Amino acid sequence: NMKVLYPEVKIAVQNAWWVTAEKLLPPGTFEVWNGLGHAGEGETSMVLVLHPELVEMKYAKGRVPKDLPENMEIKWLFSELTSNGATGDPTRGTEKKGKMMKEVLVKSVVDFIKKMDAVDWKYELLKDSK
Residue 37 zone, left/alpha/beta (φ > 0; ψ -120 to 50; rest): left
Give residue-wise pLDDT tens across range 49-67.
999 999 999 999 988 888 8
For 44, residues 6+ apart whose C-beta sits below 8 A from its C-beta are 55, 60, 90, 92, 93, 98
Which DSSP letter does residue 16 get?
-
CATH H-level superfamily of 2-111: Creatininase (3.40.50.10310)
| Beta carbons within 8 Å of 75's beta carbon, 6+ residues apart | none
Among the residue ranges 24-38, 51-65, 66-80, the one predicted with the least confidence is: 66-80
pLDDT, greater one: 52 or 8: 52
Residue 126 — pLDDT band, cuts 50, 70, 90? low
The whole-angstrom separation of Cα 88 and Cα 38 is 7
How confident is the model over 13-22, as a mean pLDDT?
Answer: 90
Mean pLDDT over 63-91 rounds to: 88
Q: Which residue has the higher pLDDT, 125 or 7?
A: 7
Q: Any idea where the domains of the chain sit in the sequence? A: 2-111
96 confidence band (pLDDT: 50, 70, 90): very high
pLDDT band at 102 (very low <50, low <70, confident <90, very high): very high
pLDDT greater than 70 at residue 69: yes
